[in-house]
Amino acid sequence: MAIFLLPIVFLLSSTQIIPSAATDTITPSQPLVAGQTLISAGGTFELGFFNASPASNSFLGIWYHKIPIREIVWVANRRSPITTRNATLSLTTDGNVLITVGNVNGGGGGIGAIWSTNTYDIKIPSLKLLDSGNLVLTDGASDAIIWQSFYDPSNAFLPEMKIGLHITATRHVENRLLSWKSLDDPSPGGYTFGIRHTNSSELVVWNGSNILYRTGPWTGDFWNGFPQMSWDYHLNLSFGYEDVPNEIYFTYESASQSVMTLINLDPSGVLQRLVWLGGQWRQSWHMPRDWCDRYGTCGPFGVCNEDDFEGVCRCLEGFEPRTLVDWTLRDYSGGCERKIALNCSERVDGFVKVSGVKLPDTENVTVAGDLELRDCNALCLGQCSCVAYAMLEEGCLWWVGQLIDIKEFAQGTTGVVDLYLRLAATDLDSAESGSSKRKHIVAVVIPLGLAFIIFCCCGIYTIRKKRKKGVGYGYVKESRGEEMELSVFDMSAIEISTNNFSDENKLGQGGFGPVYKGQLGDGQEIAVKRLSRYSVQGSDEFMNEVMLIAKLQHRNLVRLLGCCIHEEERLLIYEYMPNKSLDSFIFDKAISSQLGWEKRFDIILGIARGLLYLHQDSRLKIIHRDLKVSNVLLDKELNPKISDFGMARIVRGDQMLESTEKVVGTFGYMSPEYVMHGIFSVKSDVFSFGVIVLEILTGKKNRVFDPNGSYVSLVGHAWRLWSENKSLELVDDALKDGYPEKDVLRCMHVGLLCVQEGIEDRPTMASVVLMLSSESMTLPQPKWPGFYPRDGSKVTEFSTVNDVTLTMIHGR
């Protein structure tokens, strides 16, 4: 499955640090003042004060010493930034570590102290920076470690550090990572990472108190829901439970002490492992990886399949959507419910195997020791509350209550686990009789927006007129008394026109069904979209909105000719576009030369005008949400027409932002705020438009662009070349016969303005049309683009020895 990636490395290239003589220890008589640093004995780590945002703030931190690109791995005073230049790290004679500001003697005394370890009564205190990156406070009288930075982590997880619960006679410590507030502000952010302690513990990333992502339980080699961790050949993992002292922790060690590595939690909640190899920070894995990793995406008893590009949900065998209308609208949060209740008293229930999944949330799981599979089966069957079981290294796991957050992995994924789901006897017989088929109910998804509403209109019209045959042209009356013409086609006429939906007539496969070419009896050519078979009843409350959408008419929008409803069939009939979609031209080197500069500019401007109509000039404010080159069709004269409104959303005219639990769309075209937080607006379409502009100018795809193994993002590469005044190097070779450099650069400029990271920084489509149409208009300078590391790092891919494609970060 294709995945998206947001690698972030915080660089402090401007940090002013003046190292002192190499030392790794602070004593009561040897404090550390601003401008000095400690360096561990082996020269691996360095401790000192550094500046952050705003520049007047400084913090005490630890970073790798011998590399030019600093990655901060620990910060002491995250909640209390230093706002003066006169700061000191000191150790009192009784063992308290202090950060003080102002004119305070090295002995401390607490005057001006903004951070401390609150440790006392140490006879011979010493503070030392180890080659592991751990800052430890020891008592020389007993060599005991009194305090250590590994028990107070920031946003970075280093080798030998333990994430989890540590209980001793005097301390109860729960180690969790806490993200930075922003890329350049180490103050506490909104995301945490740690172990959630249940009967079968698992790693979790929280957004506040809500689970964003969980790994599933430990299998003995790696976490069940994150088998990709096994790809990491640099990483030897160990995980265990200790009774004395009580410990539940996760830790890791590097296979080579010379490899500099860390796992960090970035400000957006992405957990990633970075490795310093070949003079560059490289990313070997990250989580969450895809939409199916988002906690509870498909609700109770729902399954998210990572093989599906959009992560479409389905119900487990024997279950059906709890609320059909919600599922039709792509809201899966309500999940699924049983079709037939269990019958525990008569012991006629059974189990069906759900293969290769991330096991459900373990909050309501019980671990029953070392049992064989058949004994685990019998145990669950004997418990009326047991709804499923699975076998792991730690023993038999059985669940009660709802099964939440199940992910189905691609076939052949290493080390995934099988779940045994309890079903009523009737459902079990049905599952066994259909063993040659998939053992689940496919949740068929019907388009949102225009397609769904038009179906309601067609259905209501058909029912009211009780049409049974022929191609009809009827009038549906609006509440205002106006009439509009809407064609309702007979199924037999459509079958004849498409040669009974033959493969020879098939134009392609869309997200919601195949599209066929047809020809009506009068010779008119049509495109027929055959949508998924799922009957949803419309209602009169949609009628006014239906009339408004059906009246959308613009030369840069594909025109809907009518619809057909026949039993469970739902068909949309569009005008036929003989030149298919834009991607078939610009990405095909054999024919891309047919699109010269003038035609490409006309296409860019036409798409912009079509979007402007949707956002502003139509009677409704419509956000497309899936704008991409394959959804831009070309007519006989190669004029662009925006198509496929299956994911469109109608919003109020005064509504600026909207959010959704279910993020849909195409990776590479979706804006950062939509990908990470489900927030969308007209500016989401603007971002997609910017990507399309860059693809039209370059003839290259955004998501697979990789010149010389250096970049995987066309947007990022375009931004780099723009900042180096080399944008013309990116222009499509098919245009080499000649193009106006000034006009091409202006379009490149507009495209980069559209893909800026900040929502407020992107222009409206009205401004875009004006900028494209007026050569005299001065354009603002574009800011950082979305999904491009703010530190200026470059993103690329490398392949491990097992041919697994990973992603790496290059420091510039």
626 is catalytic: yes
pLDDT above 60: residue 811 = no
Q: Which of 626, 685, 732, 791 is catalytic?
A: 626
DSSP secondary structure of 71-106: -EEEES-TTS-B-SS-EEEEE-TTS-EEEEESS--T
Closest CA to 358 of 216, 477, 156: 216
> Tell me, which fold does domain 449-575 have in CATH?
Phosphorylase Kinase; domain 1 (3.30.200)
CB atoms within 10 A of CB 796: 21
- Mean pLDDT for 320-326 is 83
pLDDT above 80: residue 307 = no
- The answer to whether 449-575 and 583-796 have equal CATH topology is no
Q: Which residues contact 674 (CB under 8 A, 6 or more apart)?
A: 663, 665, 680, 684
Q: Domain limits of the chain? A: 1-151, 153-289, 301-441, 449-575, 583-796
Could you give the CA distance from residue 407 to residue 287 in angstroms, rounded to a whole number?
14
pLDDT above 60: residue 763 = yes
1-151: CATH, from 2.90.10.10, 2.40.40.20, 1.10.357.10, 2.40.50.140: 2.90.10.10
Closest CA to 14 of 43, 56, 64, 52: 52
Could you give the CA distance from residue 720 to residue 199 in angstroms, rounded to a whole number?
50
Say what the pLDDT of residue 118 is. 93
DSSP category for residue 27:
B
- Mean pLDDT for 74-83 is 94
DSSP category for residue 613:
I
Type and span of the H or E element at 599: helix 597-612
pLDDT above 50: residue 475 = no
Say what the pLDDT of residue 36 is. 93
B/e letters for 53-66, b = 16+ CB within 10 Å, e = fewer, are eeeebbbbbbbbbe
- Mean pLDDT for 116-133 is 94
Say what the pLDDT of residue 90 is. 95
This prediction has a pTM of 0.58
In tens, the pLDDT along 391-431 reads: 988 889 999 999 999 998 877 676 678 999 999 988 776 65
In tens, the pLDDT along 517-547 reads: 999 888 899 998 886 544 332 333 323 333 4
Say what the pLDDT of residue 660 is. 56
What sign results for the dihedral spanned by CA atoms 610, 615, 616, 620? positive
Say what the pLDDT of residue 675 is. 73
pLDDT more than 90, % of the chain: 41
More confident call, 530 vs 602:
602
Say what the pLDDT of residue 116 is. 95
More confident call, 319 vs 233:
319
Which pair of tokens denotes residue 210? Answer: 């809500």
Closest CA to 771 of 793, 791, 743: 743
Task: Specify the CATH class of 153-289 in words.
Answer: mainly beta
Average pLDDT in the chain: 78
Let me know the angle formed at the C-alpha of 375 by 372 and 377, rounded to the nearest 5 degrees: 110
More confident call, 7 vs 405:
405
Band (pLDDT 50/70/90 cuts) for residue 710 is very low
Within 13 Å of residue 338, how many CA atoms lie on the same side as its CB? 16
Say what the pLDDT of residue 510 is. 61
In tens, the pLDDT along 663-705 reads: 566 778 888 887 777 788 899 999 999 999 999 999 998 865 5
Say what the pLDDT of residue 612 is. 93
Counting beta carbons within 10 angstroms of the beta carbon of residue 225, is it exposed (0 to 12), middle (13 to 18) or buried (19 or more)?
Answer: buried
Say what the pLDDT of residue 788 is. 58
735: which strand partners? none
CATH code reported for the domain at 583-796: 1.10.510.10
pLDDT above 50: residue 636 = yes
Which pair of tokens denotes residue 810? Answer: 């290059």
Which pair of tokens denotes residue 435? Answer: 């063993």
Could you give the CA distance from residue 808 to residue 786 in angstroms, rounded to a whole number?
17
With tokens 């004395």, the residue in question is 244
> Tell me, which fold does domain 301-441 have in CATH?
Hepatocyte Growth Factor (3.50.4)
Say what the pLDDT of residue 709 is. 46
More confident call, 630 vs 509:
630
Band (pLDDT 50/70/90 cuts) for residue 477 is very low
Q: What is the dihedral of CA 628, 629, 634, 639, to 10 degrees?
A: 80
Say what the pLDDT of residue 254 is. 76
DSSP secondary structure of 371-412: --HHHHHHHHHT-TTEEEEEEETTEEEEEES----EEEPPTT
Could you give the CA distance from residue 529 to residue 644 in angstroms, rounded to a whole number?
10
